[in-house]
Amino acid sequence: MSSVDFETDGKPTPSVDPDDVITNPDRTRRERVLEREPIEACECGGTRMRETVATGTILVEIWNNETFDPSEFELVSQREEIEHRIRCNRCGEGGTA
């Protein structure tokens, strides 16, 4: 699964995996299509589309402030998960690519 970064203060995150990753259970954002590209005709007469979809699930990554200097690094990063799907724009047939 991929993700989309939210804006930060311009500081980089540490180059190691975060100490903790929390999934925001609130899901205050709704699922939405970020990109859509036609790829082929469907048997129903519609068009199969390759879609990049933001799922609405927010991931919060946290690094230890005793290990990294917060004046140099962004120690909390928020990302929204994205999925890649192929679906027909008429009948809806398809799934996660």
DSSP states along 10-29:
SPPPPSS--SEEEEETT--S
Q: Return all residues near 42 (Cβ < 8 A) that are at least 6 apart.
A: 48, 88, 90, 91, 93
CB atoms near residue 61 (< 10 Å): 19
pLDDT at 57: 85
Higher pLDDT, 75 or 27: 75
| pLDDT (tens digit per residue) in 11-36 | 888 888 889 888 876 656 688 999 99
Higher pLDDT, 14 or 6: 14
Whether 8 has a pLDDT exceeding 70, the answer reads no
Instruction: Tell me the percentage of the chain whose pLDDT exceeds 90.
Output: 35
